[in-house]
Structure 1
Amino acid sequence: MADDLGYADLSCYGRRDYTTPVLDGLAAQGMRFTHGYANSAVCSATRFGLITGRYQYRLRAGLEEPLGNPALGLPPEHPTLPSLLRELGYRTALVGKWHLGGLPNFGPLKSGYDEFWGNRGGGVDYFTHEVGDNHDLWDGDVRVEQVGYYTDLLAERSIRFLEERAREQKPWLLSLHFTAPHWPWQGNDAAGRAESARLDKVSEPGVLNITHYDGGTLQTYADMVTSLDANVGRILRRLSELGMERDTVVVFTSDNGGERFSDTWPFSGMKTELLEGGIRVPFIVKWPGLAAPGSTSDVPALSMDFLPTFLAAAGGAPHPDYRPDGIDIRPALSGGRLPERTLFWRFHNKDQKAARRGAYKYLSMGGNEFLFNVVEDPLERGNLKNRLPDTFAELKAAFDAWNAGMLQAPDVSSFGWTPQILADRYGQPPAP
């Protein structure tokens, strides 16, 4: 999983100013979804959906977008993708970003992962691995220090996990959650190290110094994404060398739409918005023997679909008290269709609501309501609310009925992250 990678930030999805040959190659070996969605327009909420297979709005901590309240997190007793697979004999590991609650009450090792190496918060400096005055690099529950560019280090740790698994006759799950290309925008070069030093110099104790309102360039962003691509290549090469390629499912996606330097064409909107650019993401699955090489699918799929899909493939079943909202998408991966369903999103900023069924999407933003055909009108320019009143009413009613069964968001003022910090596209520091 990439962090803040927009729909068209890979060349196989349309990026024009740089190329991503490794991930293009992964798509050529499997299926590329053109209607793949993140569970949310920001990171923590999507990660709750991914790990639980359920709408994040079923959990109090899932209402924080992203999670900024230190008292909240993923309850250890909640079944998760790694915990359910571990019960089936899988060795499980998370390498990279957690962002689902901090110690002592929450953490990867409390929620089904046998191993964890990475950062607990939302992002870190790529060289110092710090946020303000907080060093956020962990091996299990122990803080560690290691020299290196963070994207490289995550790949190296993942390769180590694969090498250890090659010596065992045991199935495994590796969740590799990069922070790239999330800010701070720092390439793995002299300019990136200089930017890291600058941020460190202006940092104050207790201040989140990586929000980077005045930083970054298109070239830096390209360097970060191509570094991500190259490091995925290192991992896939080692997987092949170890003889495990034919028996491994590989998924690549993003936690939400892109930010300042991202390409979301042909969509409008970005991270923090329920326009397609904020929630439509790269969604690639290489599944030997199931997904035909070089295939594409226009079937809508969501982050939370991976838990029921992987669990069914492993011969397991969900916990009866925590039925997933996602579904098994293997029929789509084999070239077929899925039963028609309605997908839902909420986001507190601008009081946003969205529901998609078939080609049609209901959207409410800032008190304005819309109906779009996102197949024929992916830019969401033609409001069909008055032309198709029955479809509009049906989707709005479906959203209201679904929303009544979800937890309701607290007041925005209680959130640990202000909108300015949440999406640094505002281009100015948070108001005092």
Structure 2
Amino acid sequence: MRIKAFYIVCLILSNLLSISCGEKKVAPVAEKKLPNIIYILADDLGYGDISSFNPGGKINTPNIDKLAQEGMKFTDAHSPSAVCSPTRYGIITGRYSWRSELKNGVLTGKSKALIPKSRTTVASLLKGAGYQTAFIGKWHLGWDWAQKDSTNFGAEGWNPEDFDNLDFTKPITNTPNDLGFDYAYGHSGSLDMAPYVYVENGKSTAEVDHITEDTGDYTWWRKGPTAADFVHDDVTPNFFRKSMNYIKEKSKGETPFFLYLALPSPHTPILPTEEWLGKSGLNPYADFMLMIDDYVGQLTKTLEEQGLDENTLLIFTSDNGCSPEANFELLEEKGHDPSGIFRGHKADIYEGGHRVPFLMKWPGKIRPNSVSNETICHTDLMATCADIVGVDLKETEGEDSFSLLPILDKGDSTGYKREATVHHSINGSFSIRKENYKLILCPGSGGWSYPRPGTDDLSVFPKFQLYDLKVDPSEENNLFEKYPDKTNELAVLMKVYIENGRSTPGTKQTNASLHLNGKEWHQIEPILSH
């Protein structure tokens, strides 16, 4: 035993001497390479529209399901809002949109920029960490079109004449490029919102030369100015082509990249290309879903072909629940519910409005076929990216963002610090979720399903709703009057989150004014007076 130990010591000394004499060099430990990050955001895609989340559904999505097989599926993921613009604000900033000027509803295609240049975004954070950054797709967070008459912005409406004062030949300002994106290509609002113009790095890509509209059952969009190169049917394929070309281009270098691919689909207009029409056997919406799934497969194949798959964090999710424009009645007749087992749909405070599919694939980091049942939110992207690159967020950054990295590392909730999650409906109504209890601070849906504010008589319903989602995921049994202590606990926590300007630990921050367009932000009154 002593002889063996003696030889080991001699061997160590020999190696040290050879290094000092220059006979043998030890290679330095390679620095850990930062991953590429791709965030694919679908538009109005329901929790039940991905087959791995809804095995009993009738839409088969094998390529998106493959992300679950090779990565992690989150069964309790949520958008911060049940509609487009506020969710996108939360993704980009790590902050709830109702802290900004946007307290309810969505922006239009003409709206001015919502996010100031002074606010840190996921893109500017990653750019500061050495990433190349790109946005491709539907922006819907406002930018400032050039005006022919700077003293007259005109109505922010939907009629063609509302766009007469916009000058599409001049550069726009306050663009995604001003928020940290090195490259930006997309259109301003939803695909049914004029103007229909591609903007690349602050400039229109073609002359606006005609007015278009479609009024079909699935294919409708609002009448408005359209550029020569803008073809509605080709917008989704175009964004995927652009994204795959971007991946190919970046594969030639060593710099990590962040790609935010914000799809305009399957939001209206519902436009599956000819080869996909009728493929689902259900309706055009389901055909559109099959087309999106196929393009996701093409994109992941591109990553593999370019040798980037192993060092890329790929995220797929949706901005909110499915819209009733998908024709729920027909789909349900054929055995498919876009919301799965959950109540409501897009715009609603109910789960169908904001519980969304969420998948993350990161080979070597995330174990294949792993599942997380932790309640997470889209706003968590900011803190997760900061954690990946080793940057500490400032007090004024990511006020509602919690890093998902501990979940990816350990496969459980260890280290994930989210206490509760706030949701927001289209009319600005709140709910707050902590563990299995969800308190809804309004008597109805706050959106488009029954009981609908402004349409149905809400006076016959309790002013608040409390659900135990563990035993009642479909939100059928209101426990508000049965559990007053739980109601009070959650209402007080919501009040704290509002008054502190954040839900993360840190110094108090300021929300934007509680008034919007001269009207009181009435949804906050029952909370602050509770």
Give TM-score scaled by structure 2 length.
0.68
Partner of 1:159: 244
| Structure 1 SS opposite 2:345 | coil
Contact 1:151 1:231 in 2 (8 A): no
Residue 388 (structure 1) aligns with: 483
Counterpart AA for 1:118: G
For residues 362-377 of structure 1, the aligned pairs below 5 Å read 362-366=439-443, 368-377=463-472
Instruction: Indicate the residue corresponding to 2:202 in structure 1.
Output: 141
Q: What is the CA distance between 1:370 and its match in structure 2?
A: 1.2
From 313, 320, 339, the equivalent of 2:388 is 313
Q: Displacement, 1:146?
A: 5.7
Q: In the alignment, which of 283, 295, 298 is matched to residue 219 of structure 1?
A: 283
Cα distance change of structure 1 residues 149 and 292 upon mapping to structure 2, 3 Å threshold? same
Deviation, structure 1 residue 230:
0.6
Q: How does 1:286-301 map to 2 (within 5 A)?
A: 286-301=361-376
User: Counterpart of 1:82?
Assistant: 123
Q: Please list the CA deviations of residues 235-277 of structure 1 after superposition, one character each: whole Å capped at 9, or x if unmatched.
A: 1101000001000000001111111126102110111111000
**Unaligned ranges ≥5, structure 2:** 1-40, 145-171, 206-228, 329-337, 444-461, 502-510, 521-530
The equivalences for 1:4-15 within 5 A come to 4-14=44-54
1:335 corresponds to: 411
Answer with 242-251 or 357-366: which moved more: 357-366
Structure 1 partner of 2:272: 187
Amino acid in structure 1 at the alignment position of 2:176: P
Name the CA shift for 1:413/1:278 in 2 (closer, same or farther; >3 Å): farther
- Separation of aligned partners in 1, 2:118 and 2:418: 32
SS state of the match for residue 180, structure 1?
strand
Quick one: structure 1 residues 397 and 330, their matched pair in 2 at CA, closer, same or farther if it must change by over 3 Å? same
- Give the number of equivalent residue pairs: 382
- Report Cα offsets for 1:258-314 as digits up to 9, x if no partner: 111261021101111110000100010112222211111110010010111012111
Give the one of 254, 259, 275 matched to 1:174.
259
SS in 1 for 2:299: helix
Question: Could you tell which deviates more after superposition, 297-306 or 6-15?
Answer: 6-15
Contact 2:80 2:90 in 1 (8 A): yes
Question: Which residue does the alignment assign to 1:234?
Answer: 298
Cα distance per residue 1:140-175 (max 9 Å; x no partner): 222222666222111110011111111111010000
* SS, match of residue 229 in structure 1: helix
Answer whether contact 1:84 1:318 (CA < 8 A) is retained: no
Identity %: 31
Which protein, 1 or 2, shows the higher relative CO under an 8 Å CA cutoff with sep ≥ 6? Answer: 1
Give every structure 1 segment of 4 or more consecutive aligned residues whose post-TM-superposition deviation is greater than 4 Å. Answer: 411-415
Tell me the alpha carbon deviations over residues 3-54 of structure 1, each in whole angstroms, 9 at most, x when there is no partner: 0111111111116222111000111111100000001111110111100111
**What do you get for the CA RMSD once the two structures are aligned?**
2.3
Q: 1:312-351 CA distances to partner (integer Å, 9 max, x unpaired)?
A: 11122224432532111112223111335011123362x5
Q: CA deviation at 1:407?
A: 3.7
Kindly name which structure, 1 or 2, has the bigger radius of gyration based on alpha carbons: 2
Q: Which moved more, 1:236-245 or 1:13-22?
A: 13-22
In the TM superposition, 1:337-352 aligns within 5 A as 337=413, 338-339=416-417, 341-347=419-425, 349=427, 352=429
Q: Specify every segment of 5 or more residues in structure 1 that has no aligned partner in the other structure, as ranges.
A: 125-130, 193-216, 416-432
Give the Cα–Cα distance (whole angstroms) in 1 for the partners of residues 426 and 235 of structure 2: 31
TM-score, scaled relative to structure 1: 0.83
8 Å contact from structure 1 (residues 151, 178) kept in 2: yes
